[in-house]
Structure 1
Amino acid sequence: MDNLKNLDLNLLRTLSVLLAEHNVSRAAERLHLSQPSVSVQLAKLRNMFEDPLLLPGPRGMRPTARAESLREPLAVALDALNEVMSPLQPFNPSSASLTWRIAATDYSEATVLLPALPLLRKFAPNARLSVVQIAPRLIARQCDLGEVDLAFHTADESPEGLRRRTLFKEHYVLVARPGHPRLKRRITLEQFCKLEHVVVSPDGGGFAGVTDTVLAQMGIQRRVMLSVPHFSFVRDVLSRTDLVAMLPSRLARAGAGLRIVQAPVDVPGYEMVMLWHERLHRDPSHQWLREMVGAAVNASGQW
């Protein structure tokens, strides 16, 4: 890299044209420079490479052996630099063949990815999605290392330092099977606490969630009889038992055949966001992906 410290790239462009034209006047014309200016640049090139580079001959200037050895690598280098400096090309999803790596929970798979998938398959049929289970404490590192391109998580638990966009605001509803014998009419808080509940504990085995925090502040508690690690299993449990659950509304409505009831307790909701690293912020393909996800979530309707 020390060889590039004081390099003037314009000199390399001049050398490339001189090697093509073998004539200072014609080279000056192509470069839109005066002949004296090109002559000055040729002198600098000779000093840089410690070689005459071009010598007078019967039919114009003839390149030296050193100049001939530079011709091919110089052309490759200038082409590469031109590509580096070219403006970003618009992303064409119909012909794109790439893989997006997405971190999500089963909840965000159902409420974000599932609505987005038809759009992605329609407009980017050759693109692939690699969906991995989200590890909240590792999101920032995974994005930094390029192991994850996009992640979906709750705003309050998302790490700092990542770009984010709010997808929607979520609230909780009480969910049970149709015909549940104790939910034929609106229930009281006391009746709510006597129901048998199932909770989702992503870390495994916990029997308390945000609903229990609210109830504890009121000095009461509910009966939590089952703890599971995934939301998807809860819907099957509710359809086959008399257990009930406080579920995010979008997930509850995505489960066909379940009954949604207004709970007699006000449980704080949350914001769902998508997260990505700064290095991908201006990438055309990633911008397109984020817009498709946002459009799909909006089109899925307000619950």
Structure 2
Amino acid sequence: MAEDAPFALYACTRRHAGNRLRYDQGTSPPDFNLLITLDAVLAEGSVARAARRLRLSPSAMSRALARLRETTGDPLLVRAGRGLVPTPRALELRERVGQLVQEVESVLRPAEQLDLKRLVRTFTIRAREGFVENFGAKLVARAGKEAAGVRLCFVQKPDKESTGLRDGSVDLETGVVGTVTGPEIRVQALFRDRFVGVVRKGHVLSKGKITAARYAAGQHVGVSRRGREQGPIDDALHASGLERQTVAIVGAFASALALVRASDLIASVPERQTGVLRSGLYTFPLPFEAPEVMISLMWHPRMEADPAHRWMRGLVLDVCGGRPEKR
């Protein structure tokens, strides 16, 4: 194969496919800068004035006009007395070219400042149970006050996969960053949460000093989306030489607290995420060292610079408390 074959193969692959521009072997791609030159020439009707508009020398403008004539196959401007007049082809192109140049300029122009009063958009937030109950009302109120055209859509979070963020069906996600969270996902800490114990009012643990031994002696409801019998609370108890009896396992904190309301079971749940859900129940600090969890805000990097998305991220950070550094 000849030495220049790779270049020939590259050129051969640049053919039209769908809406993408591709070019056959031996065909040079068009110089889109000529559109700007053509727009200036047709708008000014003078090579000299077009040169001044584009800050080009008269000779450079003449060369550009020669290239335009060669590319379009039309003289475009012809002399009439001391001036130049457009050809029928030039008149045909003038409006189209002007629109094209305006569209290109709008594409390349920096994003305009966000006008919240005119913003109309739906933001989808994926979170575990407790987020809407604890933060939803304040978040909706803040969003409505600043941007009346914004709607919030809260969806359940059955797993830690990043599919929704990647395909754009989810704008923001809250929760604990897991091993299956995509490495490209942007993450910013929202708050740390500690586990607390919860029982119904009148439960034996609602009276007297709660020790690790008293806590472990009761019957417990565990929370695991995958139905696991052991978790971080059990590991912390084992470190103290204790073991609890888990008689029920549910997949959500709300379900665990519902069981607690109607029984003598003990639940251990994250404090901030279940604040509203624990209303009417007796809450106590765990009498042993238990791990904290970091709740984070997550989004896809393609939304990083979007002004409206940045505003919504800031709103969630304010409502949930603080703006720690992002990774």
Q: Please list every run of at least 4 consecutive aligned residues from structure 1 whose deviation after the TM superposition is greater than 6 angstroms.
A: none
Which residue, 5, 11, 18 being the options, matches 2:41? Answer: 18
Match of 1:226 among 245, 248, 259: 248
Number of equivalent positions:
296
- Please list every run of 5 or more consecutive structure 2 residues that lacks an aligned counterpart in the other structure: 1-20, 323-327
Structure 1 residues 181 and 218: CA distance shift in structure 2, 3 A: closer
Q: Percent identity?
A: 30
C-alpha distance in structure 2 between counterparts of 1:186 and 1:123, whole Å: 47
Q: 2:134, 2:274 within 8 Å by CA — same for their partners in 1?
A: no
Q: CA deviation at 1:44?
A: 1.7
Which of 308, 316, 322 does residue 293 from structure 1 map onto?
316
- In structure 2, what is the Cα distance between the partners aligned to 1:194 and 1:5? 78
Deviation of 1:16 after TM superposition, in Å, equals 1.3
Q: 1:174 aligns with which of 197, 209, 218?
A: 197
TM-score, with length taken from structure 1: 0.88
Question: Which whole-Å CA distance do the structure 1 matches of 2:135 and 2:189 have between them?
Answer: 12
User: What is the root-mean-square deviation of aligned Cα atoms in Å?
Assistant: 2.4
What secondary structure sits across from 1:155 in the alignment? coil
Q: Cα deviations across residues 161-196 of structure 1 (Å, max 9, x unaligned)?
A: 211100011111111122223431112222212212
Give me the whole-angstrom Cα distance separating, in 2, the residues matched to 1:285 and 1:231. Answer: 32
- Post-superposition CA distance 1:169-225 (Å, at most 9, x none): 11111111222234311122222122121222223x444332123334555421222
- Aligned counterpart for 2:143 among listed residues 109, 120, 131: 120
For 2:69, the equivalent position in structure 1 comes to 46
Do the aligned residues in 1 keep the contact of 2:36 with 2:101 (CA within 8 Å)?
Answer: yes
Q: Is the 8 A contact 1:176 1:243 kept in 2?
A: yes
Residues 58-69 of structure 1 mapped to structure 2, 5 A cutoff: 58=81, 60-69=83-92
Give 2:217's match in structure 1, choosing from 194, 202, 212: 194
5+ residue gaps, structure 1: none
Contact 2:127–2:174 at 8 Å: present in 1 too? yes
Whichever residue aligns with residue 211 of structure 1, its letter is I
Q: Is 1:21–1:27's contact at 8 Å kept on the other side of the alignment? A: yes
Amino acid at match of 1:80: E
- Give the direction of change, closer, same or farther, for the CA distance of 1:135–1:175 in structure 2 (3 Å limit): closer
**Match for 1:99: what amino acid?**
T
| Deviation of 1:81 (Å) | 0.6
Cα distance 1:146–1:71, how it changes in 2: closer, same or farther (>3 A)? same
Whose helix proportion is higher, 1 or 2?
1
8 Å Cα contact 2:197-2:268 kept in structure 1: yes
- More displaced 10-residue stretch of structure 1: 176-185 or 163-172: 176-185
Q: Distance in 2 between matches of 1:117 and 1:207?
A: 37
In structure 1, the partner of 2:8 is: none
Pair 1:282 & 2:305 matched: yes
1:148 to 170, 178, 195: 170
AA paired with 1:249? E
Within the candidate set 236, 243, 264, 1:214 is matched to: 236
* Preserved CA contact (<8 Å) 1:175 1:252: no
Q: Which moved more, 1:175-184 or 1:270-279?
A: 175-184
Partner SS, residue 165 of structure 1: strand
Aligned to 2:111: 88
After the TM superposition, which of the residue ranges 165-174 and 229-238 deviates more from structure 2? 229-238
1:280 CA displacement: 0.6
- Aligned-partner residue type, residue 271 of structure 2: S
Say whether residues 1:250 and 2:272 are aligned partners: yes
